[in-house]
Structure 1
Amino acid sequence: MDQYTFLYLAVLVIAIAAYLGRQRRRNDRHAADLRESIESGLAEPPSLHPSIDPLLCIGSGSCVAACPEEALGIVDGKAVLKNASACIGHGACHAACPMQAIQLVFGTEKRGVDIPNISPEFESNVPGIFIAGELGGMGLIRKATEQGRQAVEALRKRKAGAWEHDVVIVGCGPAGLSAGLSSMQHRLRYKLIEQEQTLGGTVYHYPRNKIAMTAPVQLALVGRVKFGEVQKESLLAFWSDVVAKTGVQIAFNERMESIERSGDGFLVRTSQGTYPTRSVLLAMGRRGTPRKLDIPGEESAKVVYRLTDAAQYARMAVLVVGGGDSALESAIAVAAEPGTEVTLSHRGGAFSRVKQRNRLALEAAQQAGRVRVLLDSAVRFIEPHSVGIEHDGSLHTYRNDAVIVCAGGLLPTPFLQELGIQFETKFGTS
């Protein structure tokens, strides 16, 4: 063996050893994340999520790289959902898999998820109530958009009546916005309501990273729109531009409260009014309406119910309310921004069912003086520049610029069942 061959082999062995070392460290890290998720009771995904076929998976890691929430990992050479609670079901992993080893499903063998029964025209078993998008089992943006358009095509064929509106559309994510544009195109009398202050529905709450939109979508009044991989911010900017150019009317900060049958139509009651309508199109997400504190001042614009971008809270006094992982993660993220003053208020005496990693990170932030933790506490009022929190037997007032409430959500399933809408429970099926 000459010296050049020896050097070549030595370099090759070193490269292979380095590669295997990286793979082993990645495997150990992802396996530890999976164990932590299981031990914390957070291994059950809340919504649409990937199911990986180990016989097809080659462990390429394409799905891991495509997931902005870092919900996927590689363990023993196969992809796994290592952080199920972080998965938001946008399907980037499904599109990235080179072997088609990923199927997007609802529920698991242990935990079922209720999906409403709808016809091919997206009408529920209650005539006149249509369902499109995530609530109906479709979290993929391009398909939700198409469902919104097709649902309007179907509902406009219903017999006209003496109604103020032809359709009330609930939710302004991809399905709802598409439905609003289609309603304009067909000159329907429509009302499009959105309970939050922003356009985009679930997409608005995606992390700042790429999402996959790998096929063209057809939007009424706009035409065929082709996206490859597009960042959340670019997609929201595109939709905002569509709203500005088309003039589609959206009632923000208007929450649906009830739907009542009235003759051959419905009365939709919201936080702002009552709307008689021939049809209803439900296009809201599955995460439900945020659970409110029901205290004075909560209607303030400085109150939000999810953390979207921690950087926007730099140099602000921020109150985070809640005792779950989302509350801890929000407090930790905001506390890392320069000049922040963070208070975390929790009704309970301890943080239960949270990841050990979050618990340790919060303790570190608390010891460093970046987060004030108030256990056994309750927020009593919110004012423009302060908040009132009861703890230690008395009411205390703290300086405040923003409030993030992480108290969970009220799922729409019971409400829809009261209307007579039938559901099928999915146990790990699409």
Structure 2
Amino acid sequence: MGFLITAALDPGAGTPEPLVYAVAMVGLWAFYLGRRRRGHQRAVVALAESTASGLTEPVSLHPLIDPIRCLGCGACVGACPEGEILGLIDGKAEMIRPTDCIGHGACRDACPTDAITLVFGTARRGVDIPTLSPAFETTVPGIFIAGELGGMGLVRNAIDQGRQAMESIVELCRERHGQPLDVVVVGAGPAGFSASLAALEHGLRAVTVEQDTLGGTVARYPRGKMIMTAPVELPLIGTVKFREVSKEQLLEFWRNVETSTDLHINYRERVKSIERRGEALEVTTTRATYRTRTVLLAIGRRGTPRKLGVPGEDMPKVVYSLVDPDQYRDQRVLVVGGGDSALEAAAALADTTGTRVTLSYRSEAFGRAKARNRARVETAAAKGRLTVLMKSTPQAVRDGAVDLVVDGSPASIENDAVIVCAGGILPTPFLASLGLELETKHGTA
């Protein structure tokens, strides 16, 4: 105290260093508290908006935060490449925009205390997932699963999981056996393509079959759809640093990789059955029968679209995905669904000259769609290019019209085409024929 008094009485003594440091620390602490307070307020408002709009259920893989382990450091908040999906409320991390989470997992990787677990489903909404070991092997020895079928819908995550699953198969196949093949890869989407490259890289005796074309689900995205992804490791290629890429650009890149690596994929070949034959698995397709030690299923979940189950659904004008909006020019189109694919389809059609678009969704909020897709639909509706019917369900499809119930009242709209974007259903009969076990996830890993 005497030193501080002396410094105050003697201007030549200068400002004591401890006082300078103390003032600086107080200033920094005040700035820190102010910033946290503002972050808390933003998070509270965002969570309230999500709750009021019914946007409370994450649609895919998402973080479950242990409040006891959480330090409230905010590392997870800043790590998410999708923006403010997480926020700090009362010093703890919470999901404030749950429906915008797409399962990057960057939050988990950034957490210094391992307070975050990535899980499927919630207490209110269960998700059926095949039971897998940490090596991606199912309950049937020799059959592995990667990608969307196992819950990994994000392109980057599916690519990673395809590579990792094949690495597990490599370990299993280190000792040669009497079977002609080490692995049959079923599907050439992100997971199957990555796995096939990994099999080629490790010199496995492999065959890849795809019932459609390269890309799987990606190939069925609408024309021009932008795909957000983070840098990813692709076998034989190395780090691929796409940030935002169109469907067409991504498919073209994959085709170039397929050519440059001399990867061979049997397109238009569908698997009919997989059966155990002694120590081998026998895969029967529409073209051949393969005996193999292992099988990697990378078939996705959308191969079997969820149908409306209404009269007239078998009419030719009803389809289950939008590929090219221009084919619906000058038509009256009904899009059914409330997820990203439905909103993307409706918005793309609304931008097509002469197309009259109606979007029908059974709920009162688009709780399964990303914020940017909700914004596109809201903008199109505000400009009169799109009619949105919430709390509505189609009842019958007729020539020139569709009958619906809208908020409890019957209605009919003129119609030339129906695009059902209600998601895909797990190919349960096929999985059951293989003897695979499924489990319903309610917020568990």
**Quick check: TM above 0.5?**
yes
Matched, 1:175 2:191: yes
Give 3-state SS (helix, strand or coil) of 1:324's partner. Answer: coil
1: distance between equivalents of 2:49 and 2:108? 21
Give 3-state SS (helix, strand or coil) of 1:296's partner. Answer: coil
2: distance between equivalents of 1:202 and 1:81? 31
Decide which of 48, 67, 80 is 1:66's aligned counterpart: 80
Deviation string, structure 1 residues 272-304 (Cα, Å, up to 9, x no partner) = x254222432023456633366442667xxx73
2: distance between equivalents of 1:70 and 1:342? 35
The percentage of counterpart residues that share the same residue type is: 38
Give 3-state SS (helix, strand or coil) of 1:409's partner. Answer: coil
Query: Larger Cα Rg: Structure 1 or Structure 2?
Result: 2
2:163–2:198 contact (8 Å) kept in structure 1: no
2: distance between equivalents of 1:361 and 1:179? 35
Task: Give the equivalent residue in structure 1 for 2:289.
Answer: 276
Amino acid at match of 1:341: T
2: distance between equivalents of 1:319 and 1:156? 54
Q: Please report the TM-score for the alignment, with normalisation by the length of structure 2.
A: 0.65
Q: Gapped runs of 5+ residues in structure 2?
A: 1-23, 308-312, 405-410
Pairwise mapping of residues 205-224 of structure 1 onto structure 2 (< 5 A)? 208=226, 211-213=229-231, 217=233, 219=235, 222=236
Decide which of 3, 18, 29 is 2:45's aligned counterpart: 29
1: distance between equivalents of 2:128 and 2:318? 31
Task: Give the equivalent residue in structure 1 for 2:408.
Answer: none
- Paired residues in the alignment total 391
Task: Give the equivalent residue in structure 1 for 2:3.
Answer: none
Decide which of 37, 41, 66 is 1:53's aligned counterpart: 66
Q: Gapped runs of 5+ residues in structure 1?
A: 1-7, 382-387
Task: Give the equivalent residue in structure 2 for 1:154.
Answer: 172
Amino acid at match of 1:282: L
Matched, 1:419 2:430: no
Give 3-state SS (helix, strand or coil) of 1:290's partner. Answer: coil
2:149–2:426 contact (8 Å) kept in structure 1: no
1: distance between equivalents of 2:331 and 2:78? 35
Give 3-state SS (helix, strand or coil) of 1:80's partner. Answer: strand
Give 3-state SS (helix, strand or coil) of 2:229's partner. Answer: strand
Cα shift at 1:58: 2.0
1:328/1:133 CA distance change after superposition, 3 Å? closer
1:295/1:78 CA distance change after superposition, 3 Å? farther
1: distance between equivalents of 2:284 and 2:260? 28
Task: Give the equivalent residue in structure 2 for 1:130.
Answer: 144
Amino acid at match of 1:169: V
Task: Give the equivalent residue in structure 1 for 2:407.
Answer: none
Amino acid at match of 1:243: E
Task: Give the equivalent residue in structure 1 for 2:275.
Answer: 261
2: distance between equivalents of 1:188 and 1:354? 49
1:327/1:261 CA distance change after superposition, 3 Å? closer
Task: Give the equivalent residue in structure 1 for 2:119.
Answer: 105
Decide which of 208, 221, 232 is 1:191's aligned counterpart: 208
1:253/1:407 CA distance change after superposition, 3 Å? farther
Decide which of 416, 422, 425 is 1:407's aligned counterpart: 422
Task: Give the equivalent residue in structure 2 for 1:354.
Answer: 365
Task: Give the equivalent residue in structure 1 for 2:16.
Answer: none
1:119/1:97 CA distance change after superposition, 3 Å? closer
Task: Give the equivalent residue in structure 2 for 1:3.
Answer: none
Cα shift at 1:250: 3.5
1:134/1:58 CA distance change after superposition, 3 Å? same
Decide which of 102, 105, 114 is 1:91's aligned counterpart: 105
Deviation string, structure 1 residues 321-359 (Cα, Å, up to 9, x no partner) = 21434466336643774857341254xxx7325348999
1: distance between equivalents of 2:31 and 2:441? 46
Task: Give the equivalent residue in structure 2 for 1:385.
Answer: none
Cα shift at 1:404: 5.0
